Structure 1
Amino acid sequence: MADKKVNPIGNAMGLLRIRVIRGINLAVRDVKSSDPYVIVRLGKQKLKTRIIKKSLNPEWNEDLTLCVMDPNEPVRLFVYDHDTFSLDDKMGDAEFDMRPFLDAVKSNSQGAPDGTVIRKLIPDRQNCIAEESCIVWKDGKVTQNMFLRLRNVECGEIELQLQWIDLPSSRGA
């Protein structure tokens, strides 16, 4: 019976590795500072960074890897201030559409010179991107650095880097 287990990533397109690099000018939620952490959600998946104590400009440099099943689903980020004796305070949220990144991955840029810009994304009212973001072919991989402006808060941005990881079974798809 044990060999009848269903592989949860069997229908997956691949894996999206999100490096949560840092927070910039995050909101104060404690007396003079905050203890921020980030939750990243995609569908039913939920991953969390570690808590950085007493910082409005935390540096996480943490990789969170999500299994991509539906490319139309946005990736959502939530920033919180950790509190020991009460509910954690919200410090803003953001989301991004991963379809432009996935389109760049599918474009098969192998053989392109290192540093080739595949696509540029411009900030607008429909996205949380704070400044122009380039999808680049680098070191044999498609990567994207982005700064997301947090919503529902007075200030703050989160810097991310996206990287695609092919699953062995998805190569010919």
Structure 2
Amino acid sequence: MAMANIIGLLKIRVIKGTNLVIKDSSSSDPYVIITMGSQKLKTRHVKNDCNPEWNDELTLAIYDLDDPINLTVYDKDTFTSDDLMGEAQIDIKPYVECLKARLCDLPDGTVVDKILPSRENSIADVSQIIWKDGKLVQDMILRLKNAATGEVEIQIEWVDVPKS
């Protein structure tokens, strides 16, 4: 993929996990992998914590808004392959629709849109797209699929790429 085809960058702040599944004897050593197309980004792992705080910022290059963005949580193991702890999809389409409105000069904290949890998305609670510090951000709490319990809180923010 050439940089010329890039639409923009998506900053994904992986904030924290809540109530993640116990995969080792009493806890887990969770980390998050975010994939989109051939891109694969990873947070650091947090030892012995089913409620980890990562606060790691990962940046994806966006080439196609229809490419799914997958978030997968794993438990880091030393001697065996890492255990899957759950997964979710990050839906950026409502966020991108708000970006297209080319909003500017809104009061800080203005809620531009709300996305409700549904069967079609991984959102666990109402997700708000907010005007903050001169840009749009969206906070999401993602419910993990293929897991008994667990949620991951993230925040996304679009970064325009200057056209050459």
TM range (shorter): over 0.9
- State the number of aligned residues: 164
| Distance in 2 separating the partners of 1:15 and 1:63 | 12
Partner of 2:106: 112
Q: Compute the RMSD of aligned alpha carbons.
A: 1.1
Shift of 1:96: 2.1
| Distance in 1 separating the partners of 2:46 and 2:3 | 31
Partner of 2:15: 21
| Distance in 2 separating the partners of 1:83 and 1:44 | 25
Shift of 1:12: 0.9
| Distance in 1 separating the partners of 2:38 and 2:20 | 27
Shift of 1:94: 0.3
Partner of 1:162: 156
Partner of 2:143: 149
Matches within 5 A, 1:84-95: 84-95=78-89
Shift of 1:169: 1.0
Partner of 1:50: 44
Secondary structure class of the residue paired with 1:29: coil
Shift of 1:125: 0.7
Query: How far does the alpha carbon of each residue in 1:146-173 deviate from its partner, in whole angstroms, 9 at most, with x for none?
Result: 1000000100000000011011118xxx
Amino acid at match of 1:152: N
Contact 1:72 1:97 in 2 (8 A): no
Unaligned runs of 5+ in 1: 1-6
Contact 1:52 1:58 in 2 (8 A): yes
Secondary structure class of the residue paired with 1:86: coil
Kindly, what percent of the aligned residue pairs are identical? Answer: 51
| Distance in 2 separating the partners of 1:43 and 1:101 | 20
Amino acid at match of 1:52: V
1:59 lines up with 2:50 in the alignment: no
TM-score (norm. length: structure 2):
0.97
| Distance in 1 separating the partners of 2:144 and 2:31 | 13
TM-score (norm. length: structure 1):
0.92
Q: Which runs of 4+ in 1 moved over 3 A?
A: none
| Distance in 2 separating the partners of 1:96 and 1:131 | 14
Secondary structure class of the residue paired with 2:15: strand
Shift of 1:39: 0.2
| Distance in 2 separating the partners of 1:97 and 1:132 | 13
Contact 1:72 1:98 in 2 (8 A): no
Shift of 1:117: 1.3
Query: How far does the alpha carbon of each residue in 1:20-61 deviate from its partner, in whole angstroms, 9 at most, with x for none?
Result: 000000000000000000000111110000010000000000
| Structure possessing the higher radius of gyration over alpha carbons | 1
